[in-house]
Chains A and B, each alone.
Chain A
Amino acid sequence: MAAAVELEGITKRFPGVVANDRVSLRVEPGEIHAVCGENGAGKSTLMKVLYGMLKPDEGRILVGDDEVELHSPKDAIGLGIGMLHQNFMLADNLSVLENVILGAEPTADMRIDYARARARIGELSEAYGLDIAPDTLVESLGVGQRQRVEIIKVLYRGARILILDEPTAVLVPQEVEELFQNMRELKAAGETILFIDHKLDEVLEIADTITVLRSGRTVATVKPEDVTSRELAELMVGSELPTPETRGATVTDQVMLSVEGLAVSDEDRVIVDDVNLEIRCGEIVGVAGVEGNGQGALVEALLGIREPSAGTIRLDGTDITHWPVRRRREHGVGYIPEDRHRRGLLPPSPLWENTMLGHQTEEPFTRGIWINRRGARARTEAVIEDYDVRTPGPDVPGLALSGGNQQKLIVGREMSAAPRLLIAAHPTRGIDVGAQAAVWDQLRTARAAGLAVLLVSADLEELIGLSDRLVVILRGRLVAEVDPHRVTAEELGSHMTGAVPEPTDG
């Protein structure tokens, strides 16, 4: 019997990276097929290829028995392939009905035929058990219900094959259950579902077949009944973990950061839950976890951008839970942002203004309310020299620098301000190997000098190579603490993907 969809030898290159390297995937009609893999394993690229958003450099796509060429999502929709994006694409001020038909309105005599649309939506809701009132305004719906509207939207356009891009990432556990119920009903009605997920407990519960990608390649296609979650985790993460280099511990007994019962909510969703954490001077604590499990919110709460909903944060014994960002930074909290363009850099401003950012109330950048241009330039010159930033001088705009040099400038900016606590989120993301090694060296040196570091990273080599202790975050909770010197890939992968039950006691 022909597959519902078959991808053969798909290769997709971007400048400098191969996102998909001869990936093959076969999805049988009427099955729920999960695609798993770490961040950057190439899952999203593969789904975009299948949905016509990206054109593969090599390989074939078969839908049913026919080889097809997809130039745009329109072609994919025409072949009955629909995709649910991670971010909902709904107009809040329109009703469910209006959202569903938007762009595919049935017409009668130049008018929109609402009656026909309503009938069709009624049929779909009935057939697939997607219970939702068509006249409700979308803005009054919860996240799970919005997702259901998205599903109806795709079905309304005649999709027989649904691609769901990390559908559970935005849902609370109860909503996940409802989604799985919907998926089962869709499957019972003969629909084929392809979905991306990192959380192995979920995958094992719902999928009929699992394909694991790692570094752009297909590692394995397995049946859930044939694997244990630990085996699956190892497939995802790989069996080889880097060994941390031997080095003297510099950890002191002075606690610099102490977090107790920290929780962060976004509207009514809890994204960080009961986090307890201590970082001592001279210690690097790594936070491992699949992206989107609350790392970003945790970092923002520590920095003061987000108001926590519960818990306390202490810096060197002082309660800073309700301090504004500026006060925290003045008291020695350094920050290397996850996304330097969003949170770290002033692209059109000269480098010396970039070096001031976050330290603009301190010497040598200002004297009273006046900017000290000479002092700022001198400090920038020093950062350029010490951190090997390749630039003609401190007056060129930030945007003129290459990514690695921008990152070195940001690291230099934070380090040269002599912080007591450094919050480093993915400090080496997207920079070349040379710059990466330089940043790692700087972190080690600062650690030896007594800096406390919170290191959030998706790069296991970085986490294991640098951390003195490693905690694992899953669904906003710290679910495990492991010793980076002894942890195995299987163990780390299991914690990160929720393949082991959460411990009941702290």
Chain B
Amino acid sequence: MNEAPPAASRLRRLVEARGVVGRTALLNLAAGLVAIAFSLAVASVVFVISGNSPIAAYSDMFEFGSRLESWISTVNRATPLYLSGVAVAIGFKMNLFNIGVEGQYRLAALLAAVVGGALSLPIPLHIGLIFVVAMGTGAIWAGIAAFLKTTRGVHEVISTIMLNFIAGSFLVAFGLRVFGTVRQGNLRTDEIAESGRFPSLNPLIELFFREPTGAASMHSFALVAVAVGILYYLFVFRTRPGYDLRVTGVNSLAAQAGGVAPRRMIMQAMLLSGAVAGLVGLPELLNFSHEFSFDSTTELGFDGIAVALLGRNHPVGIAIGALVFGWLDRAGQILDLQGISPSIIEIVKGVIILSAVIAYEVVTRYREAQQTRAAAAATAGLELEAAAP
């Protein structure tokens, strides 16, 4: 064995290493902020063209968006977006594009609502069962795409899109017809009993802010999202299966030579992605509506793709992305009251994603060039040292 390097040089390397990581994160954050600023600038142009004052619109949005109940609404909206973003990111980490989160979560929410509404059990069992049904359904629905890919070579983009249609248009309607009853003029599943519900976090909020929270109710499912984020981080960045997953995404041929079985990896990643996707519909189901119907929120699966892109598949980045999108959705509501179409918010979101993807790429290339120079300099330095007597 060789001797350990002197403590001083080890420390220096450690500091440098931390510095490298820190700088990259800061640069990415800066790139994200630039993308948001740019998209607001583009939206300003749209405001002007449509005959409105961007300054007035933005000040309205900030005034409305900074109220406590707006923050609560932002978090409530961000919670399912975050779960959806993590589900997509698990796939992205190994170059699998799971566009099917939409179908996976809707089907999962339907079945979770049906099972949850049909039973009455002690609290932990009831909620546990709902989780198992939701995650299992999501995993199975994603597993079909994984099965098609590993056995027949069907690209997951195609299969998951088609599975979205089957789940969203056919199975959800069919399921509601079978299991639902008409209430308030629409087909709905039976309400989930108290034992299967998540509590509101409002008492906690009022403890900290000593402010009435108004009509808004803070969904405690946000805590589940935080836990999922932590587990996602630990799994992907700190465990050996997570390493196998990332390595497959970076270079699948090298991963294979390194002992990772590609088919099994595809299967595992899709099942995991689908299981997390199964959670996306639960905040609404367990914290708010307690039933599944045609009124239940849709499109969360697609927004999750955007959020994962914005967050660079990193648990903290996805959280920031989900909160930004959640806040925009909330603050944008005020525009409607001012007679401005809230779809301008969709323009802002779209421009954020496009410019963020570009900005991140710039950062990546800049960092790579910088690191290559540093490595070349180190080589030259070592050679000089070696040449010196």
Question: Within residues 241 to 280 of chain B, which ones have a CB less than 8 A from any CB in chain A?
Answer: 241-244, 246-247, 250-251, 253-261
Q: Are B371 and A357 in contact (CB under 8 A)?
A: no
Say whether B42 faces chain A, with CB atoms less than 8 Å apart: no
Stretch at the interface among A84-92, A170-178, A209-217, A337-345: A337-345
Q: Are B13 and A393 in contact (CB under 8 A)?
A: yes
- Give the chain A neighbours of B240 by CB distance below 8 A: 360-361, 366, 369-371
The count of residues in chain A whose C-beta lies closer than 8 Å to any C-beta of chain B is: 48
- Give the chain B neighbours of A381 by CB distance below 8 A: 5
Give, as a whole number of angstroms, the nearest-CB distance from A343 to chain B: 5
CA distance A358 to B16 in the complex (A): 27
Given A370-B238, A399-B368: A360 and B259 interface contact (C-beta under 8 Å): yes
B258 touches which one: A329, A385, A386 (CB < 8 A)?
A: A329
CA distance A346 to B251 in the complex (A): 6
Q: Are B382 and A400 in contact (CB under 8 A)?
A: no
A326 touches which one: B241, B260, B379 (CB < 8 A)?
A: B260
Say whether A64 faces chain B, with CB atoms less than 8 Å apart: no
Mask of A307-335 contacts with B, CB within 8 angstroms, 1/0 = 00000000000000000111111100001
Say whether B374 faces chain A, with CB atoms less than 8 Å apart: yes
Give, as a whole number of angstroms, the nearest-CB distance from A237 to chain B: 31
- Give the chain A neighbours of B251 by CB distance below 8 A: 342, 345-347
B1, B21, B258, B377, most chain A CB atoms within 10 A: B258
- Give the chain B neighbours of A303 by CB distance below 8 A: 257
Mask of A341-359 contacts with B, CB within 8 angstroms, 1/0 = 0111111110001001111
CA distance A369 to B371 in the complex (A): 30
Q: Are B259 and A326 in contact (CB under 8 A)?
A: yes
A392 touches which one: B16, B239, B256 (CB < 8 A)?
A: B16
Q: Are B238 and A402 in contact (CB under 8 A)?
A: no
Given A369-B241, A399-B368: A343 and B257 interface contact (C-beta under 8 Å): yes
- Give the chain B neighbours of A386 by CB distance below 8 A: 2
Q: Are A305 and B368 in contact (CB under 8 A)?
A: no
Give, as a whole number of angstroms, the nearest-CB distance from B368 to chain A: 6
Question: Within residues 336 to 365 of chain B, which ones have a CB less than 8 A from any CB in chain A?
Answer: none
Q: Are A392 and B378 in contact (CB under 8 A)?
A: yes
Given A353-B243, A361-B240, A370-B240: A399 and B372 interface contact (C-beta under 8 Å): yes
- Give the chain A neighbours of B379 by CB distance below 8 A: 390-391, 402, 405
Q: Are A400 and B371 in contact (CB under 8 A)?
A: yes
B257 touches which one: A330, A358, A385, A401 (CB < 8 A)?
A: A358
- Give the chain B neighbours of A324 by CB distance below 8 A: 259, 261
- Give the chain A neighbours of B368 by CB distance below 8 A: 348, 397, 399-400
Q: Are B247 and A346 in contact (CB under 8 A)?
A: yes
Q: Are B372 and A358 in contact (CB under 8 A)?
A: no
Q: Are A396 and B20 in contact (CB under 8 A)?
A: yes
Give, as a whole number of angstroms, the nearest-CB distance from A319 to chain B: 19
Say whether A206 faces chain B, with CB atoms less than 8 Å apart: no
Mask of B1-44 contacts with A, CB within 8 angstroms, 1/0 = 11011000000010011001100000000000000000000000
- Give the chain B neighbours of A390 by CB distance below 8 A: 375, 378-379, 382-383
Say whether B376 faces chain A, with CB atoms less than 8 Å apart: yes
- Give the chain B neighbours of A348 by CB distance below 8 A: 250, 368
- Give the chain B neighbours of A57 by CB distance below 8 A: none
Give, as a whole number of angstroms, the nearest-CB distance from B1 to chain A: 7
Given A391-B375, A397-B371: A346 and B257 interface contact (C-beta under 8 Å): no
Give, as a whole number of angstroms, the nearest-CB distance from A393 to chain B: 5
- Give the chain B neighbours of A397 by CB distance below 8 A: 368, 371
CA distance A360 to B378 in the complex (A): 28
Q: Are A358 and B259 in contact (CB under 8 A)?
A: yes
Say whether A483 faces chain B, with CB atoms less than 8 Å apart: no
Q: Are B247 and A342 in contact (CB under 8 A)?
A: no
Q: Are A371 and B372 in contact (CB under 8 A)?
A: no
Q: Are B259 and A402 in contact (CB under 8 A)?
A: no
Q: Are A401 and B375 in contact (CB under 8 A)?
A: yes
Given A344-B254, A356-B243, A399-B368: A371 and B378 interface contact (C-beta under 8 Å): no
Say whether A123 faces chain B, with CB atoms less than 8 Å apart: no
Q: Which residue of B lies closest to A333 (CB)?
A: B259
Q: Which residue of A lies closest to B257 (CB)?
A: A343
Q: Which residue of B lies closest to A399 (CB)?
A: B368
Q: Are B260 and A345 in contact (CB under 8 A)?
A: no
Q: Which residue of B lies closest to A376 (CB)?
A: B243
B375 touches which one: A326, A335, A356, A392 (CB < 8 A)?
A: A392
Q: Are A325 and B259 in contact (CB under 8 A)?
A: yes
CA distance A360 to B17 in the complex (A): 22
Q: Are B378 and A391 in contact (CB under 8 A)?
A: yes
CA distance A326 to B261 in the complex (A): 8
Given A385-B2, A397-B368: A343 and B243 interface contact (C-beta under 8 Å): no
Q: Which residue of A lies closest to B5 (CB)?
A: A381
Give, as a whole number of angstroms, the nearest-CB distance from B2 to chain A: 5
- Give the chain B neighbours of A347 by CB distance below 8 A: 250-251
Given A371-B238, A382-B2: A396 and B255 interface contact (C-beta under 8 Å): no
- Give the chain B neighbours of A345 by CB distance below 8 A: 251, 254
Give, as a whole number of angstroms, the nearest-CB distance from A324 to chain B: 6
Q: Are A349 and B250 in contact (CB under 8 A)?
A: yes
Given A303-B257, A324-B261, A325-B257: A393 and B250 interface contact (C-beta under 8 Å): no
CA distance A360 to B255 in the complex (A): 11
- Give the chain A neighbours of B255 by CB distance below 8 A: 357
Say whether A461 faces chain B, with CB atoms less than 8 Å apart: no
Q: Are A346 and B254 in contact (CB under 8 A)?
A: yes
Say whether A395 faces chain B, with CB atoms less than 8 Å apart: yes
Q: Are B259 and A393 in contact (CB under 8 A)?
A: no
CA distance A23 to B253 in the complex (A): 38
Give, as a whole number of angstroms, the nearest-CB distance from B94 to chain A: 13
Q: Which residue of B lies closest to A405 (CB)?
A: B379
CA distance A343 to B383 in the complex (A): 29
CA distance A392 to B253 in the complex (A): 27
Q: Are B374 and A337 in contact (CB under 8 A)?
A: no
Q: Are B261 and A396 in contact (CB under 8 A)?
A: no
CA distance A185 to B380 in the complex (A): 60
CA distance A357 to B254 in the complex (A): 8
- Give the chain B neighbours of A337 by CB distance below 8 A: 254, 257
Give, as a whole number of angstroms, the nearest-CB distance from A410 to chain B: 10
7 interchain pairs (CB within 8 A)? A325-B259, A325-B260, A342-B253, A357-B254, A358-B257, A385-B5, A390-B383
11 additional A-B residue pairs with CB within 8 Å, beyond A326-B261, A347-B251, A402-B379:
A325-B260, A330-B259, A357-B247, A357-B258, A358-B259, A369-B239, A369-B240, A390-B375, A390-B383, A391-B378, A401-B375
**Chain A residues packing against B (C-beta within 8 Å):** 303, 305, 324-330, 335, 337, 342-349, 353, 356-361, 366, 369-371, 378, 381-382, 385-386, 390-397, 399-402, 405
Closest CB pairs A-B (n = 9): A326-B259, A390-B379, A358-B258, A395-B17, A400-B375, A392-B378, A400-B371, A357-B258, A400-B372
